[in-house]
Amino acid sequence: MRTHAARPTLSTLPLNYVAPPGRHPHNVVDLEFNGAAIARFNDVLHGVYPDAPHVDAARFAGLVQWLLDLPPKQSRRELRQRLARVADLEKMAADRDWDTDEPQRARLARLLEYLADPDDVIPDRTPRLGRLDDALLIELAWPAFADEIEDYLDFCKFRREQHPRGSPPLKRSAWIGTRAAEGALWRQVLQVHHTRYVGPISDGLGL
């Protein structure tokens, strides 16, 4: 079960970024945001994850400013960390052993279709900034896939280590059965430890 925030990286992109006082913003006048492109971005985003925030031109401009304010090496790393999660999504979508349901498969296809388009809010050919909107889409839409992708990656680990045989449903059943048994064992261990350390204290109190 996922215990951390539903996001693709440890950090989050600053949707409401404002340049620190006393610093001169970089010149981004040449970068114009097309209203139709922004509308499409939000349409895809909310079609995949309805609870995501709306991203308008001001927020895109702030993110552009933020990225340009970072050292080049760090700005590349911020984008690369998010874009790297696309490989997990593509792998899950193509894996015949995994049984993503049809509505989820449609959402995933819509996300991947947008990410493959080089001409979106910020054209991919734009130096340093070209994949910023793609990285933002991955981050904001991630809650729609976070639980499933965690399960899928655990299934991949199980399949790699245990080499289950049979049809895809049998492989998934083997994975579920093994993890359930491990969970039961872990609960038993916790119960034993709880009894061992709490029991004597209770006895000492006359309970």
Convert the chain into a string of H (helix), E (strand) and C (coil). Answer: CCCCCCCCCCCCCCCCCCCCCCCCCCCCCCCCCCHHHHHHHHHHHHHHCCCCCCCCHHHHHHHHHHHHHCCHHHHHHHHHHHHCHHHHHHHHHHCCCCCCCHHHHHHHHHHHHHHHCCCCCCCCCCCCCCCHHHHHHHHHHHHHCHHHHHHHHHHHHHHHHHCCCCCHHHHHHHHHHHHHHHHHHHHHHHHHHHHHHHHHHHHHCCC
Give the residue-averaged pLDDT of 192-198.
Answer: 48
Q: Look at residue 190 in the predicted model and tell me its pLDDT.
A: 56
pTM: 0.81
Give residue 133's domain range. Answer: 1-144
Distances, alpha carbon 153 to alpha carbons 66, 150, 157, in Å: 32, 5, 6
Q: Is residue 203 part of a domain?
A: no
Q: Is residue 183 part of a domain?
A: no
Q: Which amino acid is residue 201, in one-letter code?
A: I
Q: Scan for tokens 């990286």, then name that residue.
A: 9
Q: Is residue 207 part of a domain?
A: no
What percent of the chain is modeled with pLDDT above 70?
A: 82
**Structure token pair of residue 69:** 């304010």
Q: Is residue 87's pLDDT more than 50?
A: yes
Give the residue-averaged pLDDT of 66-85.
Answer: 94
Q: Is residue 72 part of a domain?
A: yes
Q: Look at residue 186 in the predicted model and tell me its pLDDT.
A: 61
Q: Look at residue 10 in the predicted model and tell me its pLDDT.
A: 82
Q: Is residue 150 part of a domain?
A: no
Q: Is residue 157 part of a domain?
A: no
- Predicted confidence (pLDDT) per residue in 170-182, tens digit: 999 999 999 898 8
Q: Is residue 193's pLDDT more than 80?
A: no
User: What is the total count of domains within the chain?
Assistant: 1
Q: Is residue 199 part of a domain?
A: no
d(CA 164, CA 75): 42
Q: Is residue 168 part of a domain?
A: no
Give the residue-averaged pLDDT of 181-185.
Answer: 79
